[in-house]
C-alpha cells in the first residue's frame, strides 16, 4: 500500500519534474547553473529535513502522521508550479515539495523496516522502490502525451499534476494502518548521547559510503539537458526519465531480493561500476545510441543500489533508532547532493556537458575504491 501511495505521488511530481528543466531554460530564461542550484537546493532540503522527521518518529513512536503531513505538503505545492512566472517561485514550490518529501521519507522507510521480516528486508525495500519508480515513468509518459496534445503548454500540464497528488494523500489516510509499537521501544530523546552511541561504526561506514555515492550521482535534470544537446524535441524530453525509470523499476525488486543473500559490498561495487560506465558513455557524445545506453545504465545502477543502501541502514541501526538513523544518513547525503548538483551545473557552464559526466565518473571511482578499503572489525563487509 505504501508503494502505491508513492506511485501516485511520483506520477504527480514527475508530471512536473520531467518538464521543469526545459521549462526553466526555454520559458523562464534560466541558465544551467540556476537549474543546478534549484535542483541541488530542493533535493538537499528534502534529505536534510529527514533527520528531524526521523528523530521525531522515534521519539513519538508514530510514523504515519508524519508521512501524511509530508505527502500533504507535496500535494499542496503543485499549483505553485503552474502559477510561476520566474525561477524564484519555482524554487519556492520545489522547496515546499521537497520539505514534504523530507518529512515523509525517514518515517516511511523506518515503517517498512519495522514491518518487514529481517530476512526479507531487501525484497521489501525493492518492492516499494519498484512501485515508486513505476510512478516515476508513468508521470513523464503522461507529461509527454499532454505536451503533444496541448501544443507544449507547460502550465496546463502542471495543473493536471494536482489530481494524483491528492489521491496519494487520500490513499495514505484511509488505506494504510500503522501497527502499534510496544511502549518499551520508545525512547525519551533519540538524540541523547547514550542513545546516539548505539549507532555503531558499521552504521557510520554506510553513511560515509552513501555520501560519496551521492557526490557521484547528481540530479537527473542533467540527463534531460544532455538529450537537448542531442537534438531531442522539447515535447519528447520526458522520454529520458521514462527510459531511466523503466529500467529502475524492473531491476529494483530483483536486486533487492538478491541482497537478502548476497554480499552487500559486492553488489554496491557492481552498481558503482555501472554508474561509471553510464557517465563515460554520456560524456562521449550525443548520438542517440550513446544517450540511450547511458540513460539505461543510469537506471540500472539506481535499481542495483538505492534499495540496497536503504537495507544496509536498517541492518546496521537498532530498531528503536531507525528513524533517526535514516535521518542522519539522508542529512549527510543531502549536503552531498547539493554540492554535486551545483558542481555539475558549474562544470557544464564553464567547460561543457562532457566534463560534468567525467567528474561524475571520477567520484564514482573514488567511492568504488573506498567501498573495498579494509575496514575495522564490526564494519559490515557483506549482508549475508
Is 316's pLDDT higher than 70? Answer: yes
CB 364 within 8 A of CB 272: yes
Among 39-48, 139-148, 206-215, 249-258, the least confident range = 39-48
What is the per-residue pLDDT across 274-310, written as a single tens digit (0 to 9) for each? 999 999 998 888 788 888 899 999 999 999 998 889 8
Report the pLDDT value the prediction gives residue 9, as an integer from 0 to 100: 94
Over residues 217-227, the mean pLDDT reads: 79
Euclidean distance between CA atoms 57 and 270, whole angstroms: 34
In this structure, is residue 379 part of a structural domain?
A: no
Ramachandran region, residue 56 (left: φ > 0; alpha: ψ -120 to 50; beta: rest): alpha
Any idea what the CATH number is for the domain that residue 119 is in?
1.20.1250.20
Using a 10 angstrom Cβ sphere, with 0-12 exposed, 13-18 middle and 19 or more buried, the burial of residue 128 is buried
pLDDT tens for each residue of 19-77: 888 888 888 877 777 877 787 777 677 767 777 888 888 888 788 899 899 999 999 99
Query: Taking 80 as the threshold, does the pLDDT of residue 264 lie above it?
Result: yes
Q: What is the residue-averaged pLDDT of the chain? A: 84
Give the integer Cα–Cα distance in Å for 297 and 246: 11
In a domain, 188, yes or no: no
Q: Is residue 360 part of a domain?
A: yes
The confidence band for 384, taking pLDDT boundaries of 50, 70 and 90, is very low
Alpha-carbon distances of 323 from 61, 101, 200, 327, rounded to whole Å: 10, 14, 15, 6
Q: What is the H or E stretch that residue 59 is in?
A: helix 32-60
User: Domain for residue 377, yes or no?
Assistant: no
Residue in 256, 182, 2, 249 with CA at minimum distance from that of residue 108: 2
What residues make up the domain containing 219? 2-174+199-371
Lowest mean pLDDT among 71-80, 171-180, 186-195: 186-195
Distance CA 298, CA 281 (A): 10
SS3 category, 179: coil
Whether the CA torsion 76, 81, 85, 91 is positive or negative: it is positive
E strands, 206-314, in order: none
Measure the CA–CA gap between 3 and 171, rounded to whole angstroms.
11
Q: Where are the beta strands (DSSP E) in the chain?
A: none
**168/2: higher pLDDT:** 168
Residue 195 has pLDDT above 80, yes or no: no
Is 363 among the domain residues? yes
Please report the pLDDT score of residue 105 as a whole number: 82
Nearest to 208 by CA among 303, 332, 44, 23: 332
Residue 130 reports pLDDT greater than 80: yes
Q: Give me the pLDDT at residue 157, please.
A: 92
For range 317-334, the mean pLDDT = 83
Task: Give the CA-trace dihedral at 185, 73, 224, 206, to 10 degrees.
Answer: -20
Three cell numbers, residue 8? 501516485
Q: What is the pLDDT of residue 374?
A: 64
User: Cα–chain-centroid distance for residue 377?
Assistant: 31
Q: Which of 269-273, 336-340, 358-362 has the lowest mean pLDDT?
A: 336-340
Share of the chain residues as helix, strand and coil, in percent rounded to the nearest 5? 80, 0, 20
Q: Which residue has the cell 563515460?
A: 280
- Cα–Cα distance list, 15 to 81, 96, 102, 135, 288 (Å): 11, 17, 20, 10, 24
pLDDT band at 377 (very low <50, low <70, confident <90, very high): very low
Three-class SS of residue 239?
Answer: helix
Number of domains in the chain: 1
Residue 191 maps to a domain = no
Q: For position 100, what pLDDT does the model report?
A: 92
Q: Is residue 74 part of a domain?
A: yes
Min mean pLDDT across 41-55, 244-258, 266-280 is at 41-55
Cell matching residue 145: 502525451
Question: Could you tell me if residue 34 is inside a domain?
Answer: yes
Amino acid at each position: 500500500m505504501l508503494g502505491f501511495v508513492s506511485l501516485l505521488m511520483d506520477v504527480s511530481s514527475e508530471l512536473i519534474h520531467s518538464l521543469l528543466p526545459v521549462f526553466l531554460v526555454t520559458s523562464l530564461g534560466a541558465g544551467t547553473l540556476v537549474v543546478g542550484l534549484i535542483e541541488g537546493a530542493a533535493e538537499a532540503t528534502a534529505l536534510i529535513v529527514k533527520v528531524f522527521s526521523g528523530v521525531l518518529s522515534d521519539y513519538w513512536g508514530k510514523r504515519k502522521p508524519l508521512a501524511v503531513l509530508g505527502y500533504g505538503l507535496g500535494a499542496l505545492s503543485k499549483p505553485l508550479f503552474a502559477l510561476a512566472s520566474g525561477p524564484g517561485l519555482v524554487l519556492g514550490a520545489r522547496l515546499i515539495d521537497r520539505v514534504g518529501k523530507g518529512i515523509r521519507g525517514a518515517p516511511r522507510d523506518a515503517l517498512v523496516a519495522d514491518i518487514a521480516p529481517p530476512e526479507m528486508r531487501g525484497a521489501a525495500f525493492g518492492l516499494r522502490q519498484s512501485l515508486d519508480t513505476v510512478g516515476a515513468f508513468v508521470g513523464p509518459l503522461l507529461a509527454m502525451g499532454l505536451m503533444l496534445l496541448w501544443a507544449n503548454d507547460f502550465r496546463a500540464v502542471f495543473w493536471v499534476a494536482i489530481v494524483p497528488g491528492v489521491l496519494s494523500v487520500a490513499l495514505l489516510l484511509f488505506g494504510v494502518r500503522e501497527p502499534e509499537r510496544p511502549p518499551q521501544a520508545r525512547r525519551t530523546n533519540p538524540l541523547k548521547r547514550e542513545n546516539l552511541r548505539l549507532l555503531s561504526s558499521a552504521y557510520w561506514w554506510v553513511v560515509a559510503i552513501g555520501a560519496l555515492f551521492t557526490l557521484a550521482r547528481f540530479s537527473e535534470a542533467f540527463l534531460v539537458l544532455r538529450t537537448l544537446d542531442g537534438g531531442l524535441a522539447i515535447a519528447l524530453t520526458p522520454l529520458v526519465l521514462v527510459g531511466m525509470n523503466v529500467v529502475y523499476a524492473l531491476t529494483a525488486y530483483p536486486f533487492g531480493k538478491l541482497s537478502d543473500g548476497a554480499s552487500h559490498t559486492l553488489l554496491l561495487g557492481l552498481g558503482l561500476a555501472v554508474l561509471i560506465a553510464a557517465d563515460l558513455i554520456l560524456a562521449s557524445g550525443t548520438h542517440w545510441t550513446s544517450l540511450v545506453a547511458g540513460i539505461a545504465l543510469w537506471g540500472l545502477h539506481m535499481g542495483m543500489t538505492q534499495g540496497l543502501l536503504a537495507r544496509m541502514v536498517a541492518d546496521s541501526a537498532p530498531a528503536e533508532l531507525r528513524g533517526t538513523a535514516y535521518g542522519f544518513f539522508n542529512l549527510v547525503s543531502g549536503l552531498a547532493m547539493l554540492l554535486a548538483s551545483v558542481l555539475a551545473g558549474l562544470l557544464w557552464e564553464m567547460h561543457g556537458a562532457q566534463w560534468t559526466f567525467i567528474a561524475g565518473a571520477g567520484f564514482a571511482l573514488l567511492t568504488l575504491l573506498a567501498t573495498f578499503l579494509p575496514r575495522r572489525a564490526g564494519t559490515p563487509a557483506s549482508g549475508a
